[in-house]
Structure 1
């Protein structure tokens, strides 16, 4: 069992109550995390506030070097963090699981650290010189989810501290352990108070996002919770970056090769057991290719091993928590009741497991909740279409707009369809691939703002324009 503490101002913040964390593979205890009070949240925010003047006063190069030290520290503890992550989240150590996630966190840290915070000269002539500077905001609050807990925490924390802010990070109560350990490690190389942690009940999230001393909230999670964060932040007019729900559509055009695209379709949908905001959540296939694509997906999915994350053969693990498991199960049952056909897998009657089988559903029901709602689990509905205009309209007929994909052998056709999709990212012949140098975010109810790259970095700053007299 793992037992970690909150860190405030570089010191352990003791709590009398603890959160119990469950291993979703075994349903045994994974460990304990602190259950902090609202008064302790004030202490953590005060520690971040006190650290801000000194941290923001460092040169850009000094903060860059500190972030590189964080990457080195995480790399030295790569396997340790991965083992904690598998224990509490369930994903396999190998494949695209915990070792992959921690490796991604290290790579993202290094890339973000390498970025520059520019001073842009907007004018320099006989009328004067105008410079645009980027200034840190202050304390940034980070609220992270349970699906990619370490990687998403890095996405929040590193751009914030790289630009001179200090951070208070609240991880999900389902998966707090790996994040708490990561922040302990960060505090071994960063000045005290630059990165702080707080774990506890849901009330802490609302208090953090409404706190007057917090200048920005970065939140990754459901749209419903994102709306609550936005409401609680409104009184203090905080800056916000919200990466919210997705119900990504993929469109297979008639010229695609079913056997060739099946692996990409599968992993686009089932990476991290489908528990990814930008996973492929609904697949539209031209009627001429429909049965062939269904058959190819069933054949490929049947080879994928689902099991305990510490079994080296496992490629997918369990659903992380009971609430999400039950939602996935209910959506599958509702789809079947509406006339859908189970190609593989299906609902689960056993209430003593969080393992859900890889499930492929053939549906042509326009009211199927499995199509219209984000399932966030190892299930993919496959829908036939005949008319391109109609399927583009169907793909866009959703409140979410995070990602989408087009599958074809014709690049010109792919570009044309991609330009019509209402989403923040479009992939051609793949789905869900993200990069630290490419901005990522959604439209409609999938969020506000972007992360990654220069745009994501500068989202952690305010603009200050300086007007200077003309040079002599």
Structure 2
């Protein structure tokens, strides 16, 4: 094993209980309760975070409201906001290895992947720094009698509740904070209770870079308490959530009560279609890596494989062999390609789905077992002989588990792909680009990969159809989630 040495600043950070960021100050939660931070590689406790009560959430929202209504952030020159976001990105880069180590310790992902996540988070800050001084309205020629000067303004929507998941903690925080802050909004960030460390360190970095007090507040705690209090708070104008569809539905109900602006990036069960003419030397490893990356804990993972019957044996055997060749090890091992699942709860969920698949008549081609005796490791798993009515095919497992079926025609493949409540992503592998683009139009999903299993960029919208969410993050679409449009009519000359 090539275990890396933790940086002194990493050891120092995890060596104390963590406080919450409210109004520019690090404060203790109001109740004497804490949540242990568990290292999923060995089950040991790393630190403890605060378990916020409703009163803590109330203080955080009020601090964000004061910063929005009275502070300098909303009225700051856009170019100044851009410069500050760049300073934040610079500070993140200066502490990149610490952030990566915290992410690996907290989430379990291989350190190489955590380092890529940190660079992606820095990229989000820089990307939206570039948008901060390019927010503008438009002028309009209208049909009303008389002469008018009519224009629109783009204004920050207000105080945003940002709720991020545990699979990409730092990336998801940056994905929401970038456009939120560029737009001039203030925020209350609630990281997942399983993975709060990198968000808390990011809060320190942002304050050190000069972010005004109250612009960012961070409350830690459970979703059913702190998260529930946050989405129901009357001082919240906008909710941005990434997570499960079940929780997204509950948040949508809460948003409806207060008519809050809401965006939801939810679950996925993405189809991966391999046609008979596909380049299998490219399709097999990419498909395997797509589902096994981050231990399958990726919402866009190509988790349903539909492969043409002429090449099915080759593809399924190839993906299974790829999975068996991957190095399963703690994330701090430089050689690790598969880290542990994030928690005991997630381990039980994933292994439970594998057992349920067997009970419903599916066949385990490879994997499906616990790896080792310590931590929450599971082998990359390939399941065959499934049908679209099986639970393992219809529901999101969120682990390194691939379910497979065969098809005989393009029409059958499209029908199978669309026969699912989710619609986040999908893939098509074929050398015939006319077929590829035709199938891309027919698959009901927000992101389609043609001869690639993974695709993301800050300039490209991210979001899904059906039960995979509402709204689009990234790009201009992501910025618009934090803006309100105001129309101004100035009469220059009356009609009479």
Deviation, 1:122, is: 2.8
Per-residue CA shift, 1:220-258, capped at 9, x if unaligned?
Answer: 000000111111222210000100111111111111122
Aligned residues of 1:258 and 1:296 also touching (Cα < 8 A): no
* Residue aligned with 2:442, SS: coil
1:67 aligned partner: 85
TM-score calculated relative to the size of structure 2: 0.91
Deviation, 1:337, is: 2.5
| Alpha-carbon distance change, 365 to 119 in structure 1, aligned in 2, over 3 angstroms | closer
CA distance in 2, matches of 1:222, 1:366: 21
1:123 aligned partner: 141
* Residue aligned with 1:102, SS: helix
| 1:103 equivalent in alignment to 2:124 | no
Deviation, 1:342, is: 2.1
1:9 aligned partner: 23
| Alpha-carbon distance change, 349 to 301 in structure 1, aligned in 2, over 3 angstroms | closer
The structure 1 residue matched to 2:214, chosen from 178, 182, 193, is: 193
2:103 aligned partner: 85
1:57 aligned partner: 75
* Residue aligned with 2:350, SS: helix
CA distance in 1, matches of 2:56, 2:22: 9
- Greater CA deviation, 117-126 or 356-365? 117-126
The structure 2 residue matched to 1:455, chosen from 446, 466, 477, is: 477
CA distance in 2, matches of 1:114, 1:239: 24
Deviation, 1:430, is: 1.1
The structure 1 residue matched to 2:194, chosen from 145, 161, 174, is: 174
| Alpha-carbon distance change, 299 to 347 in structure 1, aligned in 2, over 3 angstroms | closer
Aligned residues of 1:364 and 1:384 also touching (Cα < 8 A): no
* Residue aligned with 1:169, SS: strand
TM-score calculated relative to the size of structure 1: 0.96
| Alpha-carbon distance change, 27 to 35 in structure 1, aligned in 2, over 3 angstroms | same
Deviation, 1:303, is: 2.2
| 1:234 equivalent in alignment to 2:256 | yes
* Residue aligned with 2:434, SS: helix
| Alpha-carbon distance change, 27 to 223 in structure 1, aligned in 2, over 3 angstroms | same
CA distance in 2, matches of 1:89, 1:411: 39
CA distance in 2, matches of 1:86, 1:212: 36
Aligned residues of 1:362 and 1:383 also touching (Cα < 8 A): yes
1:260 aligned partner: 282
1:415 aligned partner: 437
- Greater CA deviation, 292-301 or 171-180? 292-301
Aligned residues of 2:139 and 2:152 also touching (Cα < 8 A): yes
- Greater CA deviation, 117-126 or 233-242? 117-126
| 1:445 equivalent in alignment to 2:467 | yes
| Alpha-carbon distance change, 301 to 348 in structure 1, aligned in 2, over 3 angstroms | closer
CA distance in 1, matches of 2:124, 2:272: 27
Deviation, 1:351, is: 7.8
Aligned residues of 1:250 and 1:406 also touching (Cα < 8 A): yes
* Number of equivalenced pairs: 470
1:136 aligned partner: 156
Aligned residues of 2:386 and 2:393 also touching (Cα < 8 A): no
CA distance in 1, matches of 2:364, 2:256: 45
Aligned residues of 2:371 and 2:377 also touching (Cα < 8 A): no
Deviation, 1:470, is: 5.2
2:418 aligned partner: 396
Aligned residues of 1:274 and 1:379 also touching (Cα < 8 A): yes
CA distance in 2, matches of 1:366, 1:196: 44
2:10 aligned partner: none
Deviation, 1:387, is: 2.4
2:305 aligned partner: 283
Deviation, 1:330, is: 1.4
Aligned residues of 1:340 and 1:361 also touching (Cα < 8 A): yes
Per-residue CA shift, 1:32-85, capped at 9, x if unaligned?
Answer: 111122111111111111111321111211211111111111111101111111
1:325 aligned partner: 347
- Greater CA deviation, 213-222 or 344-353? 344-353
| 1:156 equivalent in alignment to 2:176 | yes
Deviation, 1:139, is: 0.7
Per-residue CA shift, 1:370-398, capped at 9, x if unaligned?
Answer: 11111100111111111221221111111
Equivalence map 1:216-365=2 (5 Å): 216-348=238-370, 353-365=375-387
* Residue aligned with 2:314, SS: helix
Aligned residues of 1:403 and 1:432 also touching (Cα < 8 A): no
